[in-house]
Amino acid sequence: MDSLVSTEWLAGELGAPDLKVVDASFHLPGDGRDARDEFSEAHIPGATFMDLAEIVDSDHPVPGMLPPDYKFASRMQALGIGDADRIIVYDNSPHHSGARAWWMLRSFGARRVAILDGGLPKWIAEGRAIESGQPPPARGHFTAQLDRTALADKDHVSAIAGSPAHELVDARGASRFAGEDPEPRPGVTPGHIPGSKNLPQGRLFNPDNSWKRGAALAAAFEEAGVDLAKPMVTTCGSGITAAVLLFGAHLLGKQDVKLYDGSWAEWGSDPATPKATGPQATGPNATGPNATGPNATGQS
C-alpha cells in the first residue's frame, strides 16, 4: 500500500475487513472548531475518531508530547485497530493533522499506514458518501513500541542548530516564525530556533487540498532554502504540522528525517535556549540572524 492513497482507491476499498479508516482532525483553541463534534456531524463511512489532543503524555510539562507505549496501544485498541490492519488516516483541518497521526502510528510500530490525499474536503467535494454519529468500534489488538530514532529531543536540536551539515525546518507561518505574532500558548517567547528554515506547511498542498508531488513538491522545499540532501529535523509549534513537512519529505523518498516533538512549545518556553526573530533571509550573500547560504553569518 502506498503512503498516499486517492479518494477513488479508498471508495473501492471501504468495507474490507482489514481496512481501518481514521479521522485525525485537530484544531487549536483559537480555531473556534471542535474536531470531535465535526466528526459526529460528518465523516467517511466506517471511520473512527483519533483524538490527537488526548493521545499525549499527560504527565509531561510540554503540551502534546508523544504518550507512553501503553497509552498509545490502549487508544489504538479502543479504535479497533490491530497490528495487521491497513490504516488510512485523513483530516478536515487547516493544520493537515492526518500527517501527525500517520507519523505517530508509524513511530509506534504500524507498518501499513497511509494518508488519504485531499482528506475529507476532497472526499465531500467529489460527492462521496458520508455518515454521522459516533459508531462504537470493535476492539483491536495493537502492539506499540516507540521507535525513538523517529524523533529529536531538545538536546539533539541544540547540537545541530546552525550546523551546515543539517537542516532544521519550521512548518509555522511566516509571521509566527519571525516572532511578529504572539504565540498561542502562555509563557512561550515568539520567534524561532536560530539557523532554522521556514517552510509554512500549507505550501505543500494544491488548491483542492491534495498534496503536491514530484517536482512541485521538491520546489517547495528548495524555495525555502532547504537542501534535501542533508539530514533534516522538522519542527513547528507543538509537533503537529512538523509532521506535514516530514511526510512531504517522505513522498520525495527522503528517510533521514526526525521530528522535534517538543517544537517551539518547549524551545520557546525555556529561558536558556537561544531564540531568533525576523524573517528568513536567503541567497548566496545572505546575512543576518536567520540567514541561509554559503556566506551566511549572524547570531541569535
Task: Give, as one character, the DSSP assignment of residue 110.
Answer: -
Active-site option among 4, 178, 236, 240: 236
Distance of alpha carbon 285 from alpha carbon 66, whole angstroms:
40
CA separation, residue 177 to residues 155, 225, 235 (Å): 21, 15, 11
**CB count, 10 Å around CB of 139?**
13
Which helix (H) or strand (E) segment is 73 a member of?
Answer: helix 69-78
- CA distance linking residue 193 with residue 197, whole number of Å: 9
116 with 88: CB under 8 angstroms? yes
Cell numbers that stand for 209 in this block: 487540498
Axis-axis angle for helices 242-251, 214-223 (nearest 10): 130
Cβ pair 24, 100 in contact under 8 A: yes
Q: What grid cell was written down for 59?
A: 504527565
* 194 belongs to the catalytic site: no
Active site residues: 236
